[in-house]
Amino acid sequence: MNTGQVRDWVRAAKHIAVLTGAGMSAESGVPTFRDSQTGLWAKFDPQQLATEEAFRANPSMVWDWYAHRRQAIAKVQPNAGHRALAGFAKRHAGRLTLITQNVDGLHQRAGSEAVLALHGNIAQDRWLDTPRACCNAHAVAAGSPPYCDRCGNMRRPAVVWFGEPLPQSVFAQAEQAAQHCELMLVVGTSGLVYPAAGLARSARGRVAIVNPEPTALDDAADAVLHGTAAKLLPVLLED
């Protein structure tokens, strides 16, 4: 299947859902998770970093890892793929629903609105334990991580770790978009993490994958385009 065919599907579809993953931001300089040489987890076991259990066992190590990533993300810029998605949505109001697993905020910085961020936002924090009356912004003591100076409740990154539920209403909107779309573009994800990957499997319309490498979702796709997000999306989404 070639790029021209998928471009025709884009033009014909009344509603398009787009599911993005870490590869979407690779050309902005944000490392992916699972790429064997450069991925964030090439050197770490995800269960040692991206779980509540890991955070409770070693809060400063996990907090510092996120702090380092936050600083790196603040220095990068959206790429041509992020801009192509934002531009298409502006030119075609109501036709595109953007669902992302990414926590980097680059879609939003490119101008995409109403992004369905399944795995949260790395720039934000929340309380680890249900906040008590004493836990408020005035009582946060500096630390790694910061904590409530009355009860010790810690701040944690507002992202979704393994074993945690996705934000319910965000996921419900994503499911609805998958079930109503005529075309789903699946961009820059390995397709290994659920329930996000299940959205591609339950899409009502055609599914087209954009990825330089094979993915775990290729068997569910009507088209697999082997190329990068920043190169292919501007071509697929041009008028």
Helix segments in the chain, DSSP class H: 3-12, 52-57, 59-74, 80-91, 106-109, 168-180, 196-201, 229-236
For ligand BJW, which residue of 193, 207, 209, 237 counts as binding (CB under 6 A)? 193
Q: Is 78 in the site for ligand BJW (CB under 6 A)?
A: no
Q: Is 26 in the site for ligand BJW (CB under 6 A)?
A: yes
From CA 162, how far away is CA 164, in angstroms rounded? 6
Sign of CA dihedral 44, 49, 54, 58: positive
Per the CB < 8 A criterion, the answer to whether 121 and 47 are in contact is: no
Active site residue 119: yes
Q: Is 189 in the site for ligand BJW (CB under 6 A)?
A: yes
Residue 120: strand, helix, or coil: strand
The C-alpha R_g of the chain, in whole angstroms, comes to: 19
Whats the size of the chain, residue-wise? 239
Cβ nearer to ligand BJW, comparing 80 with 95: 80
Q: Is 192 in the site for ligand BJW (CB under 6 A)?
A: yes
Q: Is 125 in the site for ligand BJW (CB under 6 A)?
A: no
Q: Is 112 in the site for ligand BJW (CB under 6 A)?
A: no
By CB under 6 A, which span of 3-11, 107-115, 124-132, 193-201 interacts with ligand BJW? 193-201
Q: Which residues make up the interface to ligand BJW (CB under 6 A)?
A: 21-23, 26-27, 32-35, 39, 50, 101, 103, 119, 159-165, 188-190, 192-195, 211-213, 215, 228-229
